[in-house]
Structure 1
């Protein structure tokens, strides 16, 4: 992993890949350049699985190639494509595989930006959407798919492996089976899994039938809150199609971003393992605190529930995002957040530092209130991203913030 697909002798003996800060690449002769341009031009639709030549950094560049090849090792995928952000990965995947009149069926809740993109942007291009609860089983999803197909052909099922911010798990195998059943002709319905919360360590979507797995690489993969990126992995033919679309849209991640991502891959397992260890302790503390109404964490699913069966089937660890409902509602939640010392009040997750946010007024604000409440994203919910610090510091901070929030609430009640 730490040296895969890089030869030091090609870069003056450098042990680590340098940053290739160039927009274009020189050639020895006009004939050579013309031949490569023709190859790239003929593959505009992703018809060939051959690697794109190094011509211009909007098409590809060495730092992107190194990261993509190393990242594909984690889940054993054939290829990967890196993008300028997680939303760039989602948007490009959508436009590469969907056409006007097609149906996109997705789980809910999703990250608010994804929900908004599906609801607003795709519909302006004639792409129709339908949704199902992330907790739905095979029969429920199929029923909704049948109803949706009255409006057009089903071409994509999109799910978050663990829903943001409720941690509800989607049944990937059921979605893949339904996509296969609804495929017709030359155009296959595909299953796309946003694996940001649990991947690539704790869940491998391809073991359960997914066609593509995508990530906001800004989160755990980058892991240091110092970059924006996205990545999609899957079969070579599908990734070639994505790379062709990426060239046209111009949303490949830059050289320095890819260099940072490659650096971060070397510590990904160490970081995610330590974060899960800390998250388990934080989740246990919150579950035992009487001021907390409910904790949303995969290890806390009821033993005989379908969610617990999915967790045991699909996941090897619960991840490091812990959401919970605080007793008292929005005002108490805000007082709690304002009282935090170690946790930073910020959107995003997966970094070395601990972060806290209020989903209903930040990441999921764009979802209509009635739908948010129906999905469990209420004003009393708080989402935590657990970092690499001492779990005792985190628990101390959460306890003092709970003390402050409840003390202030009681004082107001006595007035």
Structure 2
């Protein structure tokens, strides 16, 4: 019989699951249990040795189940399936996107260290870097997509922090402006300040593109983080996060997750497995809708600048990054209403189909005002520098019929 390497969207239905271990159930059951029974004391010892890193798992050895804080079938199968999209060696699923992000930062940073981060980033990430980490003696330096590798390297040197840099953290496309950052520059900067004694890790937040449209691990990134609440979950009915990467880094992430206890539960794992089965179908439709919505906004007299990757043109550095790193323009569209905050609020208050809510990547279309909502805690100086103005509206395009989405936007703009 001829072997075939199935595509990820096909493997989402079955990969990692053995029906014979679950009474023949076609779908993985919810393993709503805190602990698991060992057949023998020797088996329990063997399982713990692997769990605590006292020995490596043998090639044909099944990973033993111990306790749902360590492993659970729903999480284990989910993590194996998520690895397929990003071609990662390992994955760890968390109770939220912020728990995934904060765990990575706390594992790889120590008091006195410095994190170099792209601007803008999600508001919660910005808060953690600039308000929480300094309480532990860890400090952040921001860089923009207008800076070259040489300029970023010189900035770190001029600050006298070359020996303290331990992480380059990049969110691309950036929330909420769709600004693109070159992974190659991030890798070059990290390598410049790495040594035999000190590794500078590159971490990418890929939430805006989901696991479908961009694969940072293929571009020199060490770890990828997601708010799995967004496209991976895709139905606005759960909170979760994920981290993926090479085993040498993931072993550290998993270990800290075990002792922080911020893994996702079996019910969340089961819901995410369900969502993965329709991930490509959902995201493909959302991207198609975004093309139509962005085109409408671009020509509307009451709309100023439109932030949409599909409108980038050859000759633009951002276009070059787009062609190198992404396979799709995505389904996130931001735009400026002509006027100010009051005009933006009038638009938001008159939407009828699109829901006024934060979050993104779900089947329903959502709209929000970044300056006063998701990014309200970002410094006024940074908001101004990054173009997060009082006029800016962020749209997450859903799977509704694009004509209905456009009708809703049109009638709300008439009120402005």
Tell me the residue number matched to 1:19: 30
Structure 1: gaps (5+ residues): 406-415
For the residues of structure 2 that align with 1:372 and 1:49, how far apart are their CA atoms?
48
| Cα offset, 1:199, TM superposition | 2.5
| Cα offset, 1:151, TM superposition | 6.8
Tell me the residue number matched to 1:170: 181
Tell me the residue number matched to 1:213: 224
| Cα offset, 1:147, TM superposition | 3.0
Tell me if structure 2 keeps the 8 A contact 1:103–1:148. no
Q: Secondary structure at the match of 2:140?
A: strand
Structure 2 matches for 1:8-407, cutoff 5 A? 8-42=19-53, 53-150=64-161, 152-405=163-416
Q: Secondary structure at the match of 2:280?
A: helix
Q: Evaluate the alpha carbon distance shift between residue 249 and residue 353 of structure 1 in structure 2; reply closer, same or farther with a 3 A threshold.
A: same
Tell me if structure 1 keeps the 8 A contact 2:163–2:193. no
Per-residue deviation, residues 265-286 of structure 1 (Å, max 9, x unmatched) = 1111111111000001000000
For the residues of structure 2 that align with 1:15 and 1:38, how far apart are their CA atoms?
32
Tell me if structure 2 keeps the 8 A contact 1:102–1:127. yes
Tell me if structure 1 keeps the 8 A contact 2:50–2:56. no
| Cα offset, 1:252, TM superposition | 0.3
TM-score with structure 2 length normalisation?
A: 0.93
Q: Secondary structure at the match of 1:201?
A: helix
For the residues of structure 2 that align with 1:364 and 1:147, how far apart are their CA atoms?
29
Q: Evaluate the alpha carbon distance shift between residue 156 and residue 149 of structure 1 in structure 2; reply closer, same or farther with a 3 A threshold.
A: farther
Per-residue deviation, residues 235-279 of structure 1 (Å, max 9, x unmatched) = 012111111000010000000101111111111111111100000
For the residues of structure 2 that align with 1:123 and 1:141, how far apart are their CA atoms?
21
| Cα offset, 1:145, TM superposition | 2.8
Per-residue deviation, residues 137-180 of structure 1 (Å, max 9, x unmatched) = 32222222323453742111000120000000011111012111
Number of equivalences: 402
Tell me if structure 1 keeps the 8 A contact 2:95–2:240. yes
Q: Secondary structure at the match of 2:198?
A: coil
| Cα offset, 1:49, TM superposition | 7.2
Tell me if structure 1 keeps the 8 A contact 2:177–2:334. yes
TM-score with structure 1 length normalisation?
A: 0.94
| Cα offset, 1:59, TM superposition | 1.1
Tell me if structure 1 keeps the 8 A contact 2:50–2:57. no
Q: Secondary structure at the match of 2:230?
A: coil
Tell me if structure 2 keeps the 8 A contact 1:52–1:59. no
| Cα offset, 1:38, TM superposition | 4.3
Q: Secondary structure at the match of 2:52?
A: helix
Tell me if structure 2 keeps the 8 A contact 1:111–1:164. yes
| Cα offset, 1:27, TM superposition | 1.4
Q: Evaluate the alpha carbon distance shift between residue 216 and residue 135 of structure 1 in structure 2; reply closer, same or farther with a 3 A threshold.
A: farther
RMSD: 1.6
Structure 2: gaps (5+ residues): 1-10
| Cα offset, 1:82, TM superposition | 0.4
Q: Secondary structure at the match of 2:361?
A: coil
Q: Evaluate the alpha carbon distance shift between residue 228 and residue 373 of structure 1 in structure 2; reply closer, same or farther with a 3 A threshold.
A: same
Q: Secondary structure at the match of 1:82?
A: strand
